[in-house]
Protein backbone atom coordinates (compact mmCIF):
# COMPACT_ATOMS: atom_id res chain seq x y z
CA UNK A 1 0.00 0.00 0.00
CA UNK A 2 2.69 2.49 0.99
CA UNK A 3 4.63 1.50 -2.14
CA UNK A 4 1.58 2.29 -4.27
CA UNK A 5 1.17 5.69 -2.65
CA UNK A 6 4.86 6.26 -3.28
CA UNK A 7 4.33 5.50 -6.99
CA UNK A 8 1.30 7.81 -7.21
CA UNK A 9 3.32 10.64 -5.73
CA UNK A 10 5.91 10.31 -8.45
CA UNK A 11 3.40 10.72 -11.22
CA UNK A 12 3.07 14.18 -12.75
CA UNK A 13 -0.20 15.83 -11.81
CA UNK A 14 -3.03 16.72 -14.19
CA UNK A 15 -6.06 18.74 -13.17
CA UNK A 16 -9.37 18.64 -15.04
CA UNK A 17 -11.85 21.46 -14.42
CA UNK A 18 -15.35 19.99 -14.76
CA UNK A 19 -16.71 16.47 -15.06
CA UNK A 20 -18.91 16.72 -18.14
CA UNK A 21 -18.62 13.94 -20.74
CA UNK A 22 -15.37 15.43 -22.07
CA UNK A 23 -13.96 16.08 -18.59
CA UNK A 24 -14.54 12.45 -17.61
CA UNK A 25 -13.11 11.13 -20.88
CA UNK A 26 -10.06 13.42 -20.58
CA UNK A 27 -9.46 12.32 -16.99
CA UNK A 28 -9.55 8.64 -18.04
CA UNK A 29 -7.21 9.24 -20.98
CA UNK A 30 -4.76 11.32 -18.90
CA UNK A 31 -4.67 8.59 -16.22
CA UNK A 32 -3.87 6.09 -18.97
CA UNK A 33 -1.01 8.31 -20.09
CA UNK A 34 0.48 8.06 -16.63
CA UNK A 35 -0.76 11.23 -14.92
CA UNK A 36 -2.20 11.42 -11.41
CA UNK A 37 -5.49 13.11 -12.21
CA UNK A 38 -7.68 15.32 -10.01
CA UNK A 39 -11.08 16.46 -11.27
CA UNK A 40 -12.67 19.54 -9.71
CA UNK A 41 -16.43 19.74 -10.18
CA UNK A 42 -18.59 22.67 -9.09
CA UNK A 43 -21.68 20.50 -8.70
CA UNK A 44 -22.30 17.73 -6.17
CA UNK A 45 -22.58 15.29 -9.08
CA UNK A 46 -20.66 14.35 -12.23
CA UNK A 47 -21.81 14.52 -15.84
CA UNK A 48 -22.71 18.18 -16.37
CA UNK A 49 -25.50 18.19 -18.94
CA UNK A 50 -25.80 14.38 -18.77
CA UNK A 51 -27.64 14.20 -15.46
CA UNK A 52 -31.08 13.12 -14.19
CA UNK A 53 -34.37 14.54 -12.98
CA UNK A 54 -36.52 12.35 -10.72
CA UNK A 55 -39.82 12.64 -8.85
CA UNK A 56 -43.13 10.88 -8.13
CA UNK A 57 -41.86 7.61 -9.62
CA UNK A 58 -40.66 9.19 -12.88
CA UNK A 59 -37.03 9.30 -14.07
CA UNK A 60 -35.83 11.57 -16.89
CA UNK A 61 -32.51 12.07 -18.60
CA UNK A 62 -32.07 15.78 -17.97
CA UNK A 63 -30.11 16.72 -21.10
CA UNK A 64 -29.07 14.69 -24.13
CA UNK A 65 -31.45 12.00 -25.32
CA UNK A 66 -30.20 11.09 -28.79
CA UNK A 67 -27.20 8.77 -28.74
CA UNK A 68 -24.99 8.11 -31.76
CA UNK A 69 -21.45 6.72 -32.17
CA UNK A 70 -21.58 4.55 -28.98
CA UNK A 71 -18.08 3.25 -29.73
CA UNK A 72 -16.72 6.57 -28.47
CA UNK A 73 -17.88 5.56 -24.98
CA UNK A 74 -16.85 1.91 -25.16
CA UNK A 75 -13.37 2.69 -26.53
CA UNK A 76 -12.57 4.29 -23.17
CA UNK A 77 -13.14 0.96 -21.40
CA UNK A 78 -11.07 -0.89 -23.99
CA UNK A 79 -8.31 1.70 -23.60
CA UNK A 80 -8.19 0.84 -19.90
CA UNK A 81 -8.12 -2.90 -20.60
CA UNK A 82 -11.72 -3.47 -19.46
CA UNK A 83 -14.56 -5.25 -21.22
CA UNK A 84 -17.16 -2.48 -21.79
CA UNK A 85 -20.07 -4.93 -21.73
CA UNK A 86 -19.62 -5.39 -17.99
CA UNK A 87 -20.28 -1.67 -17.45
CA UNK A 88 -22.04 -0.04 -20.37
CA UNK A 89 -24.44 -1.62 -22.84
CA UNK A 90 -26.80 -0.24 -25.47
CA UNK A 91 -29.04 -1.37 -28.28
CA UNK A 92 -29.64 -0.06 -31.76
CA UNK A 93 -32.99 1.59 -32.42
CA UNK A 94 -34.94 0.44 -35.45
CA UNK A 95 -36.90 3.69 -35.66
CA UNK A 96 -34.65 6.72 -35.36
CA UNK A 97 -37.52 9.18 -35.00
CA UNK A 98 -41.28 9.46 -35.48
CA UNK A 99 -42.27 12.66 -37.35
CA UNK A 100 -45.69 14.33 -37.25
CA UNK A 101 -46.98 17.25 -39.31
CA UNK A 102 -49.96 19.44 -38.52
CA UNK A 103 -51.99 18.19 -41.52
CA UNK A 104 -51.98 14.67 -40.04
CA UNK A 105 -49.07 13.29 -42.12
CA UNK A 106 -46.81 11.03 -40.04
CA UNK A 107 -43.64 9.20 -40.96
CA UNK A 108 -41.37 6.71 -39.23
CA UNK A 109 -37.72 7.43 -39.95
CA UNK A 110 -36.25 3.93 -39.92
CA UNK A 111 -32.58 3.83 -39.02
CA UNK A 112 -32.08 1.43 -41.92
CA UNK A 113 -31.52 3.72 -44.91
CA UNK A 114 -33.43 1.55 -47.42
CA UNK A 115 -36.44 1.15 -45.12
CA UNK A 116 -36.43 4.90 -44.47
CA UNK A 117 -36.36 5.68 -48.20
CA UNK A 118 -39.30 3.27 -48.75
CA UNK A 119 -41.28 4.89 -45.91
CA UNK A 120 -40.69 8.35 -47.43
CA UNK A 121 -41.97 7.03 -50.76
CA UNK A 122 -45.09 5.57 -49.11
CA UNK A 123 -45.95 8.56 -46.90
CA UNK A 124 -44.80 11.50 -49.02
CA UNK A 125 -44.83 10.04 -52.52
CA UNK A 126 -41.16 10.88 -53.08
CA UNK A 127 -39.26 8.29 -55.11
CA UNK A 128 -37.13 6.19 -52.72
CA UNK A 129 -34.08 6.77 -54.94
CA UNK A 130 -33.98 10.42 -53.86
CA UNK A 131 -33.46 9.67 -50.16
CA UNK A 132 -31.22 6.76 -51.08
CA UNK A 133 -28.92 9.03 -53.09
CA UNK A 134 -28.96 11.75 -50.42
CA UNK A 135 -27.85 9.30 -47.74
CA UNK A 136 -25.20 7.76 -50.02
CA UNK A 137 -23.73 11.24 -50.64
CA UNK A 138 -23.84 11.94 -46.89
CA UNK A 139 -22.01 8.67 -46.20
CA UNK A 140 -19.30 9.46 -48.77
CA UNK A 141 -18.79 12.99 -47.47
CA UNK A 142 -18.63 11.77 -43.86
CA UNK A 143 -16.20 8.97 -44.64
CA UNK A 144 -13.95 11.34 -46.59
CA UNK A 145 -13.84 14.08 -43.97
CA UNK A 146 -14.49 12.85 -40.43
CA UNK A 147 -10.83 12.03 -39.73
CA UNK A 148 -9.83 15.57 -40.64
CA UNK A 149 -12.72 17.62 -39.24
CA UNK A 150 -13.79 15.57 -36.23
CA UNK A 151 -10.77 13.59 -35.13
CA UNK A 152 -7.80 15.91 -35.65
CA UNK A 153 -6.78 19.28 -34.34
CA UNK A 154 -7.48 21.80 -37.11
CA UNK A 155 -4.99 24.16 -35.50
CA UNK A 156 -1.78 22.15 -35.91
CA UNK A 157 0.30 22.23 -39.06
CA UNK A 158 0.91 18.48 -38.68
CA UNK A 159 -2.78 17.85 -39.38
CA UNK A 160 -2.46 19.30 -42.89
CA UNK A 161 0.34 16.91 -43.77
CA UNK A 162 -1.95 13.88 -43.29
CA UNK A 163 -3.34 11.85 -46.23
CA UNK A 164 -6.79 12.65 -44.73
CA UNK A 165 -6.46 16.17 -46.13
CA UNK A 166 -6.04 14.96 -49.69
CA UNK A 167 -9.02 12.63 -49.22
CA UNK A 168 -11.17 15.51 -47.92
CA UNK A 169 -10.03 17.83 -50.72
CA UNK A 170 -11.17 15.26 -53.27
CA UNK A 171 -14.67 15.54 -51.84
CA UNK A 172 -14.79 19.34 -51.49
CA UNK A 173 -17.65 19.60 -53.98
CA UNK A 174 -19.74 17.26 -51.78
CA UNK A 175 -19.23 19.47 -48.71
CA UNK A 176 -21.44 22.27 -50.08
CA UNK A 177 -19.50 24.89 -48.14
CA UNK A 178 -20.91 27.76 -50.19
CA UNK A 179 -24.57 26.79 -49.85
CA UNK A 180 -26.78 26.63 -46.79
CA UNK A 181 -28.19 23.33 -45.59
CA UNK A 182 -31.64 24.49 -46.68
CA UNK A 183 -30.38 25.31 -50.19
CA UNK A 184 -28.81 21.85 -50.50
CA UNK A 185 -31.99 20.19 -49.24
CA UNK A 186 -34.25 22.25 -51.51
CA UNK A 187 -32.14 21.25 -54.49
CA UNK A 188 -31.81 17.57 -53.66
CA UNK A 189 -35.12 16.76 -51.98
CA UNK A 190 -37.63 19.37 -53.22
CA UNK A 191 -40.66 18.05 -51.31
CA UNK A 192 -41.37 20.65 -48.57
CA UNK A 193 -41.94 18.08 -45.81
CA UNK A 194 -38.82 16.15 -46.73
CA UNK A 195 -36.81 19.38 -46.85
CA UNK A 196 -38.12 20.28 -43.39
CA UNK A 197 -37.23 16.83 -42.05
CA UNK A 198 -33.65 17.05 -43.36
CA UNK A 199 -33.34 20.73 -42.37
CA UNK A 200 -33.94 19.61 -38.82
CA UNK A 201 -30.45 18.13 -38.65
CA UNK A 202 -29.08 21.68 -38.25
CA UNK A 203 -30.49 21.60 -34.73
CA UNK A 204 -28.07 18.79 -33.86
CA UNK A 205 -25.47 21.47 -33.30
CA UNK A 206 -27.89 24.24 -32.39
CA UNK A 207 -27.78 26.09 -35.72
CA UNK A 208 -30.24 27.36 -38.31
CA UNK A 209 -30.65 25.33 -41.54
CA UNK A 210 -31.10 28.68 -43.32
CA UNK A 211 -27.58 29.78 -42.29
CA UNK A 212 -25.51 26.70 -41.46
CA UNK A 213 -23.40 25.43 -44.38
CA UNK A 214 -24.51 22.53 -46.58
CA UNK A 215 -21.74 20.36 -45.12
CA UNK A 216 -24.22 19.60 -42.31
CA UNK A 217 -26.07 17.43 -44.84
CA UNK A 218 -23.74 14.64 -43.73
CA UNK A 219 -25.30 14.52 -40.22
CA UNK A 220 -28.21 12.24 -41.30
CA UNK A 221 -25.56 9.64 -42.12
CA UNK A 222 -25.06 9.23 -38.38
CA UNK A 223 -28.74 8.40 -37.79
CA UNK A 224 -29.65 6.54 -40.95
CA UNK A 225 -26.53 4.62 -41.82
CA UNK A 226 -24.54 4.36 -38.59
CA UNK A 227 -27.66 4.28 -36.41
CA UNK A 228 -29.08 5.66 -33.19
CA UNK A 229 -28.77 3.78 -29.91
CA UNK A 230 -30.26 3.59 -26.47
CA UNK A 231 -27.95 2.95 -23.51
CA UNK A 232 -29.29 0.58 -20.84
CA UNK A 233 -30.15 2.73 -17.84
CA UNK A 234 -30.65 5.79 -20.05
CA UNK A 235 -28.21 8.47 -21.19
CA UNK A 236 -27.23 9.01 -17.57
CA UNK A 237 -25.45 5.64 -17.66
CA UNK A 238 -22.80 7.35 -19.85
CA UNK A 239 -21.97 9.49 -16.82
CA UNK A 240 -22.21 6.76 -14.18
CA UNK A 241 -20.19 4.23 -16.16
CA UNK A 242 -17.44 6.73 -17.07
CA UNK A 243 -17.31 8.02 -13.50
CA UNK A 244 -16.83 4.44 -12.26
CA UNK A 245 -14.15 3.81 -14.90
CA UNK A 246 -12.31 7.02 -13.97
CA UNK A 247 -12.35 6.08 -10.30
CA UNK A 248 -10.92 2.66 -11.14
CA UNK A 249 -8.07 4.52 -12.90
CA UNK A 250 -7.38 6.25 -9.55
CA UNK A 251 -8.78 9.58 -10.75
CA UNK A 252 -9.73 11.66 -7.69
CA UNK A 253 -12.91 13.75 -7.70
CA UNK A 254 -13.47 16.94 -5.73
CA UNK A 255 -17.22 17.61 -5.89
CA UNK A 256 -18.78 20.90 -4.79
CA UNK A 257 -15.43 22.52 -5.47
CA UNK A 258 -15.59 25.15 -8.18
CA UNK A 259 -12.33 26.33 -9.71
CA UNK A 260 -12.09 30.11 -9.36
CA UNK A 261 -8.76 30.76 -11.04
CA UNK A 262 -6.29 29.12 -13.39
CA UNK A 263 -2.93 30.16 -11.98
CA UNK A 264 -0.43 31.23 -14.63
CA UNK A 265 3.29 31.95 -14.33
CA UNK A 266 5.72 32.91 -17.10
CA UNK A 267 3.87 31.40 -20.07
CA UNK A 268 2.78 28.29 -18.21
CA UNK A 269 -0.10 27.24 -16.03
CA UNK A 270 1.00 26.14 -12.58
CA UNK A 271 -2.31 24.97 -11.13
CA UNK A 272 -5.75 26.11 -10.04
CA UNK A 273 -7.33 27.88 -7.10
CA UNK A 274 -10.65 26.99 -5.51
CA UNK A 275 -12.34 28.42 -2.39
CA UNK A 276 -10.60 25.64 -0.42
CA UNK A 277 -7.05 26.28 -1.60
CA UNK A 278 -4.52 26.15 -4.43
CA UNK A 279 -3.49 22.96 -6.24
CA UNK A 280 -0.41 22.57 -8.40
CA UNK A 281 -0.34 20.64 -11.68
CA UNK A 282 1.90 20.03 -14.67
CA UNK A 283 -1.09 19.96 -17.00
CA UNK A 284 -4.51 21.64 -16.71
CA UNK A 285 -7.59 20.77 -18.77
CA UNK A 286 -10.65 23.03 -18.85
CA UNK A 287 -13.95 21.28 -19.52
CA UNK A 288 -15.67 24.52 -18.52
CA UNK A 289 -17.23 26.43 -21.44
CA UNK A 290 -14.38 28.32 -23.11
CA UNK A 291 -16.01 31.77 -22.68
CA UNK A 292 -16.20 31.70 -18.85
CA UNK A 293 -12.85 29.87 -18.75
CA UNK A 294 -11.25 33.05 -20.13
CA UNK A 295 -13.57 35.60 -18.56
CA UNK A 296 -13.76 34.15 -15.05
CA UNK A 297 -10.77 31.85 -14.50
CA UNK A 298 -8.05 33.88 -16.24
CA UNK A 299 -9.39 37.39 -16.85
CA UNK A 300 -5.91 38.84 -17.40
CA UNK A 301 -4.89 36.32 -20.09
CA UNK A 302 -4.98 37.35 -23.74
CA UNK A 303 -8.44 36.20 -24.84
CA UNK A 304 -9.20 35.21 -28.46
CA UNK A 305 -11.93 37.83 -28.79
CA UNK A 306 -13.10 36.83 -32.26
CA UNK A 307 -13.62 33.23 -31.19
CA UNK A 308 -15.31 34.12 -27.91
CA UNK A 309 -17.50 36.75 -29.57
CA UNK A 310 -19.26 34.34 -31.94
CA UNK A 311 -23.04 34.06 -31.58
CA UNK A 312 -24.12 31.16 -29.38
CA UNK A 313 -25.96 28.07 -30.55
CA UNK A 314 -29.61 27.66 -29.66
CA UNK A 315 -30.66 26.69 -26.17
CA UNK A 316 -33.75 24.79 -25.04
CA UNK A 317 -36.85 25.00 -22.95
CA UNK A 318 -37.66 21.62 -21.47
CA UNK A 319 -40.71 20.42 -19.63
CA UNK A 320 -40.21 17.14 -17.78
CA UNK A 321 -43.76 15.81 -17.56
CA UNK A 322 -44.92 12.69 -15.76
CA UNK A 323 -47.91 11.61 -17.91
CA UNK A 324 -50.58 9.31 -16.46
CA UNK A 325 -51.34 7.54 -19.71
CA UNK A 326 -49.52 5.57 -22.39
CA UNK A 327 -49.49 6.56 -26.07
CA UNK A 328 -48.79 3.55 -28.33
CA UNK A 329 -48.54 5.84 -31.38
CA UNK A 330 -45.41 7.49 -29.94
CA UNK A 331 -41.83 6.20 -30.06
CA UNK A 332 -38.69 6.98 -28.06
CA UNK A 333 -38.02 10.09 -30.23
CA UNK A 334 -40.94 12.10 -31.65
CA UNK A 335 -41.03 15.39 -33.54
CA UNK A 336 -44.14 17.52 -34.04
CA UNK A 337 -43.22 20.02 -36.75
CA UNK A 338 -44.25 23.67 -36.87
CA UNK A 339 -45.98 25.00 -39.98
CA UNK A 340 -43.34 27.64 -40.70
CA UNK A 341 -39.83 26.32 -40.12
CA UNK A 342 -38.15 29.42 -41.56
CA UNK A 343 -40.17 31.69 -39.28
CA UNK A 344 -39.19 29.50 -36.35
CA UNK A 345 -35.44 29.87 -36.98
CA UNK A 346 -35.74 33.57 -37.74
CA UNK A 347 -37.41 33.99 -34.36
CA UNK A 348 -34.56 32.13 -32.63
CA UNK A 349 -31.51 33.57 -34.39
CA UNK A 350 -32.64 36.99 -35.60
CA UNK A 351 -35.28 38.08 -33.08
CA UNK A 352 -33.77 36.17 -30.10
CA UNK A 353 -37.27 34.98 -29.34
CA UNK A 354 -39.49 31.92 -29.77
CA UNK A 355 -41.87 31.37 -32.66
CA UNK A 356 -45.58 31.29 -31.76
CA UNK A 357 -46.15 27.64 -32.69
CA UNK A 358 -42.75 25.96 -32.39
CA UNK A 359 -41.61 22.48 -33.39
CA UNK A 360 -41.87 20.15 -30.38
CA UNK A 361 -39.58 17.24 -29.56
CA UNK A 362 -40.98 14.58 -27.20
CA UNK A 363 -38.59 11.97 -25.84
CA UNK A 364 -40.08 9.07 -23.87
CA UNK A 365 -37.43 6.82 -22.36
CA UNK A 366 -40.07 4.68 -20.60
CA UNK A 367 -40.71 3.23 -24.07
CA UNK A 368 -37.31 1.53 -23.65
CA UNK A 369 -37.09 1.28 -19.87
CA UNK A 370 -40.50 0.65 -18.28
CA UNK A 371 -39.20 1.52 -14.79
CA UNK A 372 -38.70 5.15 -15.85
CA UNK A 373 -42.44 5.74 -15.18
CA UNK A 374 -45.10 4.21 -12.90
CA UNK A 375 -47.20 1.40 -14.48
CA UNK A 376 -49.53 2.69 -17.20
CA UNK A 377 -47.65 6.03 -17.36
CA UNK A 378 -44.93 7.65 -19.49
CA UNK A 379 -42.09 10.11 -18.79
CA UNK A 380 -42.22 12.89 -21.36
CA UNK A 381 -39.18 15.07 -21.95
CA UNK A 382 -40.75 17.86 -24.01
CA UNK A 383 -38.30 20.24 -25.65
CA UNK A 384 -38.59 23.38 -27.74
CA UNK A 385 -35.58 25.09 -29.37
CA UNK A 386 -35.12 28.62 -28.05
CA UNK A 387 -32.38 31.26 -28.33
CA UNK A 388 -29.50 31.44 -25.90
CA UNK A 389 -30.15 33.67 -22.91
CA UNK A 390 -29.58 37.34 -23.62
CA UNK A 391 -31.95 38.59 -20.94
CA UNK A 392 -35.32 37.61 -22.41
CA UNK A 393 -38.37 37.48 -20.12
CA UNK A 394 -38.23 33.70 -19.63
CA UNK A 395 -41.19 33.61 -17.22
CA UNK A 396 -43.49 35.11 -19.85
CA UNK A 397 -41.99 33.07 -22.71
CA UNK A 398 -42.26 29.82 -20.73
CA UNK A 399 -45.90 30.42 -19.79
CA UNK A 400 -46.73 31.14 -23.43
CA UNK A 401 -44.83 28.17 -24.84
CA UNK A 402 -46.24 25.76 -22.23
CA UNK A 403 -49.76 26.68 -23.26
CA UNK A 404 -48.90 26.40 -26.94
CA UNK A 405 -47.22 23.02 -26.53
CA UNK A 406 -50.15 21.60 -24.57
CA UNK A 407 -52.59 22.88 -27.16
CA UNK A 408 -50.55 21.49 -30.07
CA UNK A 409 -49.98 18.04 -28.53
CA UNK A 410 -53.58 17.77 -27.31
CA UNK A 411 -54.80 18.38 -30.84
CA UNK A 412 -52.34 16.00 -32.50
CA UNK A 413 -52.91 13.21 -29.99
CA UNK A 414 -56.62 13.89 -29.57
CA UNK A 415 -56.32 13.93 -25.76
CA UNK A 416 -56.36 16.66 -23.12
CA UNK A 417 -52.66 16.56 -22.21
CA UNK A 418 -52.89 19.15 -19.38
CA UNK A 419 -55.10 16.84 -17.32
CA UNK A 420 -52.51 14.02 -17.59
CA UNK A 421 -49.54 15.92 -16.13
CA UNK A 422 -48.86 14.40 -12.69
CA UNK A 423 -45.28 15.65 -12.32
CA UNK A 424 -43.56 18.68 -13.77
CA UNK A 425 -40.11 20.23 -13.77
CA UNK A 426 -38.59 22.84 -16.03
CA UNK A 427 -35.20 23.64 -17.54
CA UNK A 428 -34.57 26.91 -19.37
CA UNK A 429 -31.46 28.67 -20.73
CA UNK A 430 -30.85 30.34 -17.38
CA UNK A 431 -30.93 27.09 -15.42
CA UNK A 432 -28.74 25.38 -18.05
CA UNK A 433 -26.16 28.13 -17.49
CA UNK A 434 -26.51 27.94 -13.70
CA UNK A 435 -26.08 24.18 -13.64
CA UNK A 436 -23.25 23.77 -16.18
CA UNK A 437 -21.70 27.25 -16.66
CA UNK A 438 -22.45 27.05 -20.41
CA UNK A 439 -22.28 30.63 -21.63
CA UNK A 440 -25.83 31.99 -22.09
CA UNK A 441 -27.16 28.45 -21.61
CA UNK A 442 -26.27 27.50 -25.20
CA UNK A 443 -26.44 23.73 -25.75
CA UNK A 444 -23.53 23.47 -28.19
CA UNK A 445 -21.16 26.41 -27.61
CA UNK A 446 -20.95 28.74 -30.62
CA UNK A 447 -23.53 28.36 -33.37
CA UNK A 448 -22.32 26.82 -36.63
CA UNK A 449 -24.04 29.44 -38.76
CA UNK A 450 -20.87 30.39 -40.65
CA UNK A 451 -19.23 28.49 -43.54
CA UNK A 452 -15.97 28.58 -41.58
CA UNK A 453 -17.47 27.50 -38.24
CA UNK A 454 -15.27 24.40 -38.03
CA UNK A 455 -12.17 26.61 -38.13
CA UNK A 456 -13.58 29.30 -35.84
CA UNK A 457 -14.02 27.06 -32.81
CA UNK A 458 -11.43 27.36 -30.07
CA UNK A 459 -8.59 24.83 -30.44
CA UNK A 460 -8.08 22.06 -27.88
CA UNK A 461 -4.98 23.81 -26.59
CA UNK A 462 -4.00 27.31 -25.51
CA UNK A 463 -1.85 29.43 -27.83
CA UNK A 464 -0.58 31.31 -24.77
CA UNK A 465 0.05 28.63 -22.14
CA UNK A 466 1.80 25.50 -23.35
CA UNK A 467 0.35 23.15 -20.70
CA UNK A 468 -3.29 24.35 -20.80
CA UNK A 469 -5.82 22.33 -22.83
CA UNK A 470 -9.52 22.60 -23.62
CA UNK A 471 -12.15 19.90 -24.03
CA UNK A 472 -15.96 19.86 -24.25
CA UNK A 473 -18.82 21.01 -26.41
CA UNK A 474 -17.70 24.65 -26.66
CA UNK A 475 -14.36 23.89 -28.37
CA UNK A 476 -13.20 21.91 -31.41
CA UNK A 477 -14.73 19.74 -32.87
CA UNK A 478 -18.05 20.97 -31.41
CA UNK A 479 -21.07 20.21 -29.26
CA UNK A 480 -23.03 17.03 -28.67
CA UNK A 481 -21.91 13.99 -26.69
CA UNK A 482 -19.92 12.28 -29.48
CA UNK A 483 -18.00 15.43 -30.40
CA UNK A 484 -17.36 16.26 -26.74
CA UNK A 485 -15.85 12.78 -26.36
CA UNK A 486 -13.77 13.35 -29.49
CA UNK A 487 -12.52 16.67 -28.08
CA UNK A 488 -11.10 14.71 -25.14
CA UNK A 489 -9.36 12.31 -27.52
CA UNK A 490 -7.86 15.15 -29.60
CA UNK A 491 -6.80 17.23 -26.58
CA UNK A 492 -5.17 14.37 -24.66
CA UNK A 493 -3.28 13.29 -27.80
CA UNK A 494 -1.54 16.69 -27.63
CA UNK A 495 -0.25 15.98 -24.11
CA UNK A 496 3.08 14.17 -23.85
CA UNK A 497 3.06 10.66 -22.37
CA UNK A 498 4.73 10.35 -18.99
- Does 242 contact ligand FAD by CB under 6 A? no
Q: Is 30 in the site for ligand FAD (CB under 6 A)?
A: no
**Is 41 an interacting residue with respect to ligand FAD (CB under 6 A)?**
yes
Q: For ligand FAD, which is the closer residue by CB, 17 or 283?
A: 17
Say whether residue 37 binds ligand FAD (CB under 6 A): no
C-alpha distances (whole Å) from 59 to each of 224, 324, 334 are: 28, 14, 18
Q: How many CB atoms are closer than 10 A to CB 494?
A: 13
- Subset of 286-345 contacting ligand FAD (CB under 6 A): 287-288, 316, 318
Q: Which residues pair with 288 in a beta bridge?
A: none
Among 93, 258, 367, 412, interactor with ligand FAD by CB under 6 A: 258
436, 440, 448, 492: which one binds ligand FAD (CB under 6 A): 436
Neighbouring residues of 378: CB distance < 8 A, sequence distance ≥ 6: 323, 325, 326, 327, 330, 364, 366, 367
- Among the residue ranges 94-102, 191-199, 322-330, 430-438, the one whose residues contact ligand FAD (CB under 6 A): 430-438
Residue 384 in contact with ligand FAD, rule: CB under 6 A = no
437 scored as a contact of ligand FAD (CB under 6 A): yes
**492 scored as a contact of ligand FAD (CB under 6 A):** no
**DSSP state letters, 206-225:** T--TTTSBGGGGGTHHIIII
| Cβ closest to ligand FAD, residue 72 vs residue 215 | 72
Instruction: Tell me how many residues contact ligand FAD (CB under 6 A).
Output: 37
List the one residue out of 50, 48, 69 whose CA is nearest residue 61: 50
Of 66, 284, 360, 386, which one interacts with ligand FAD (CB under 6 A)? 66
Q: Are 181 and 214 in contact (CB under 8 A)?
A: yes
Is 472 a binding residue for ligand FAD by CB under 6 A? The answer is: yes
**Is 490 near ligand FAD (CB under 6 A)?**
no
Q: Please, which residues have CB within 8 angstroms of residue 377's CB and are 6 or more apart in sequence?
A: 57, 58, 322, 323, 324, 325, 326, 366, 422
Contact 379, 320 (CB under 8 A): yes
**For residues 24 and 239, is the Cβ–Cβ distance under 8 A?**
yes
**Per CB under 6 A, does 50 bind ligand FAD?**
yes
Judged by CB under 6 A, which stretch of 220-228, 402-410, 431-439, 451-459 contacts ligand FAD? 431-439
Min separation Cβ 40 and ligand FAD, Å = 5
Q: Is 429 exposed, middle or buried (0-12, 13-18, 19+ CB in 10 A)?
A: buried
Minimum distance between the CB of residue 60 and ligand FAD, rounded to whole angstroms?
11
Applying CB under 6 A, which part among 36-44, 152-160, 164-172, 401-409 lies near ligand FAD?
36-44
What is the secondary structure of 3-69 as a DSSP string?
A: HHHHHHHHSPEEEEE--BHHHHHHHHHHHHHT-EEEEE-SSSSSBTTS-EEEETTEEEESS---B--
* Site residues for ligand FAD per CB under 6 A: 17-23, 40-43, 48-50, 63-66, 258-259, 287-288, 316, 318, 432, 436-438, 443-444, 472-473, 479-482, 484
Amino acid sequence: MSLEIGKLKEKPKAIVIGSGAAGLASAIRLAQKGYAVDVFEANAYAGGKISVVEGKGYRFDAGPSLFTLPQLVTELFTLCGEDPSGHFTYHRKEVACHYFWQDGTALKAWADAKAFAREVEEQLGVNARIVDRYLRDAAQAYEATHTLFLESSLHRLKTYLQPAVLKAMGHLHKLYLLSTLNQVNQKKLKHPKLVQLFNRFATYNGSSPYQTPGVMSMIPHLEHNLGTYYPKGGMHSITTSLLGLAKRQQVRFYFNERVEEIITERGRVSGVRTARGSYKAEVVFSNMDVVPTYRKLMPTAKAPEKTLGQARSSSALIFYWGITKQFPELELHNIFFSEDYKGEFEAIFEEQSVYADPTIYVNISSKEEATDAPPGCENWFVMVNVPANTGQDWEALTARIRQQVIQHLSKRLDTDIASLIAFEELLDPRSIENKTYSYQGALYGAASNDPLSAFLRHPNFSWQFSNLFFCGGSVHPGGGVPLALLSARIATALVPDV
